[in-house]
Amino acid sequence: MPAVHARGTRRRTISEINMVPFIDVMLVLLIIFMVSAPLITTGIIELPRVGTAKTAPQRVIEVMVASDESVRLRVDGKDSERVPLARVAERVKQAQRGAATTAVVVSGDRNVRYEVVVKTLDALNRADVGRVGLLVKPTGS
């Protein structure tokens, strides 16, 4: 109940904020965080690095997405004709010749829309093509 001052016949309430409970709660939270902080273990995450492969794969199928959104296949360094996006997965499966361990990399031109690269990756994923990765080139080349 708020404190009331009596001044003659008028009663006036004093509206003040009691800060003591608020400070008590903040001190308890501070103590909890100070005690629990040293108990939290930090995990170590090892990220993959570019160029750390010991040996290059023997067969590589490269799916190249050009700036005009056309898709080409390069099998073992030999270029082939343009392939419609709907038939990319089928052509990659043919190029793998039943060897699901053949590496498949997707490379995109610098000016290609990201959406086209994602659609290509999605088409390969839906066709259960294994070992699909993105080709990374250093910025100096």
Q: Coil, helix or strand for 81?
A: strand
pTM over 0.95? The answer is: no
Tell me the pLDDT tens digit for each residue of 35-94: 998 888 777 777 767 665 566 667 788 888 888 878 888 887 777 778 888 888 888 888
Please, what's the b/e burial string for 56-80 (b: 16 or more CB within 10 A of its CB; e: otherwise)? eeeebbbbbbeeebebbbbbeeeee
